[in-house]
Each structure stands twice: as structure tokens, then as C-alpha cells.
A and B are shown apart, each in its own frame.
Chain A
Amino acid sequence: MRQWISVAKEALNQISTVARFLCLLHVTDKYLCSPTLAYGPSMLPTLNLTGDVILSEQVSYRLGRVGPGDIVLVRSPTDPLKIVTKRILGLEGDRVTFYDPLSGDICRTVVVPKGHVWIQGDNIYASNDSRYFGPVPYGLIQGKAFFRVWPPDSFGRLGP
């Protein structure tokens, strides 16, 4: 009986250590820096088609310090379970010029409304972005990508 109690105690100790480690990992992931797998053609040539592991930090957007040229992770306004990677082209009040794919590629200029950002993929020929679903509210931004860790031959900073 006593043996069982000591085994249970030891197991509980180990479990609590693992739980605390996972807790720390989760806090770092959510509030500091987190890795993401970004795949798809919409950010070529910056990000690969077959998937890059990028690091994104969660501090800048909370301080309001993301701006045009930054690559950001945004919760998709059309599919709330999906997070997309795009580049910010304009903040609220900015005038953004683009070729509108929904009306024959005519050149259009919009003013980004208050509280919103305009996001576009680097590969405008294969990107579902603000040219289709309009400017997105700033509150949907989840992080700013700043570093790529995989594949190893493109290890390094991502930047404007």
C-alpha cells in the first residue's frame, strides 16, 4: 500500500512539472513568440509554396506598432477558423491603389476606414486578400512574422 502511495506521489510530481512546463510554453506562444507553418502561393516569392515555418511575435500588434510592409498573421474574415499570412499595405486613413480583380482589373483607390488595415499577398495573381474581402478590422491581427526557421536554406529575417 505504502509503495503505491509513493509511486502515486512521484507520478503526481512529474505530472505537475510537465504541466508547468506546458503552461510556460503556452504563455510564451500566446504573448511573446510562436512558430507557424505558412503554406500556399499567395506570398511568393517571399514565402515558399510548400510551407515555411516562420516565427511571429505577439507584442507589436498589442502596442499598435505594426505598419505598412509588415508581414502579419490575420484571422480570416471569411473563415474564422483559418489564419492567413499577408502583408499590410495600408493602415486606417491611408490611400491604397490596387487592380480590382472583381471588376475587370480596373485600377481603384480606396481609403482604409478607421480601425481597419488593408492586407495583400505578395503574389497578387494567386492571393485571396483585401482586394476580394475588403479591409479587415485591426482586431483580427494575430501576430507579426519576423523570422523564418525552415527550410534551412532560407533561414533568416523576414522584412519589408
Chain B
Amino acid sequence: MGLRNSLNLLKSFAKEGFDISLAVGKFFCCLHVVNSYLVTPALTSGPSMLPTLNLTPTIVLAERLSPRFNKLSPGDVVLVRSPEVPRKIVTKRVIGVEGDRIAYVVDPQNGDQSETIVVPKGHIWIQGDNIYNSYDSRNFGAVPYGLLEAKIFWKIWPPKDFGSLG
């Protein structure tokens, strides 16, 4: 009798545990869907987007709808998968889309020599706001549109920076 009671107790514990895991699993599923297709938070750090984004780590919100529906235009700050290190995602500003003629200063710290380039089909030209300390399209060329991940639209941390990118 005691054995059957403890067995039943075990069964009810197991069932409750299973139900809770299922609910948690469904929650993370939903979170993952929102993260991959709607809005995702991201941590940005580094000097290449000063003064727009700080040197110290900043948490931003980025939406995934604009790149999917081809609604990016020059001036947008985007998250892009780096063409040189595939696991790294960098934050830069879109300067030109396919067909645009871009004039850029090759090395701002060493003079004013500038070059002009036409962005090829299916590519975009990205640059960091801090052109003195940014590794971007001036170094690795135009990036294919397929590497775009998301468009940043809001800063949420640190609290004094809370707000749109401006």
C-alpha cells in the first residue's frame, strides 16, 4: 500500500514537472520566434560608431523586418554579419545601396585622399560614424545584402542613453 502511494506521488510530481517544462519550452519558443523574425536585443561595443553609440557596451533593440522587406536606406544603423569573421556581427551605418556613387576618404588620419566607387548590384556600403577608428567597407569593400541582420531603432541601456538613435 505504501509503495503504491509513493508511486502515485512520484507520478504526479513527474506530470507536474513535465507540464512546467512544456510551458517553459513554449515560452522560449515564442521568445526565439520574436527574436529571429521581429525584434532582437543586441549588445554593441567599440569606438567605431561614436558619437551615436558609446564606446562602452550598449544594449540596443533592432528590428528584423526592414532588411527582409528591402526597406533599408542610406542613414540607417544596421547589424551586419562581418564578411571577414562570419561569427561576428558588427554595427555600422548604411551609406549607400546598389547603384549609388560613394566618395570616401581612404585614410582620414593620413591626409585627404579620397576615392569614388559605385556600389555593385546586390551590395551595400557601410561605414562607422567614427571614420578615424572604424573597420568597414572602406577596408573590406561593399557587403552583399544577404549579410544584413537587423536595423537598430532604439537604445535601452545605459539608462542615460535611453531613446532613439537620433
Question: A residues within 8 Å of B by Cβ?
Answer: 23, 75-80, 113-116, 136-140
Contacts and interface: CB of A to CB of B under 8 A. Distances in A.
12 contacts: A77-B122, A77-B123, A77-B146, A80-B122, A137-B86, A137-B143, A137-B147, A138-B86, A139-B81, A139-B82, A139-B147, A140-B144
Given A23-B29, A137-B81, A139-B81, A80 B144 contact: yes
Interface of B: 29, 81-86, 120-123, 143-147
Given A79-B122, A136-B144, A140-B147, A115 B29 contact: no
A150 B84 CA distance: 36
Closest 3 pairs between A and B when the two form their complex, measured CB to CB: A115-B84, A75-B146, A80-B145
Q: Which among A23, A114, A139 has the greatest number of chain B C-beta atoms within 10 A?
A: A139
A116 B81 CA distance: 12
B146 A80 contact: yes
A29 B65 CA distance: 20
A75 B148 CA distance: 12
A1 to B, nearest CB: 31
Given A77-B146, A78-B120, A115-B82, 19 more contacts: A75-B144, A75-B146, A78-B121, A78-B122, A79-B121, A80-B145, A80-B146, A113-B84, A114-B84, A115-B83, A115-B86, A136-B144, A137-B81, A137-B83, A137-B86, A137-B143, A138-B86, A140-B144, A140-B147
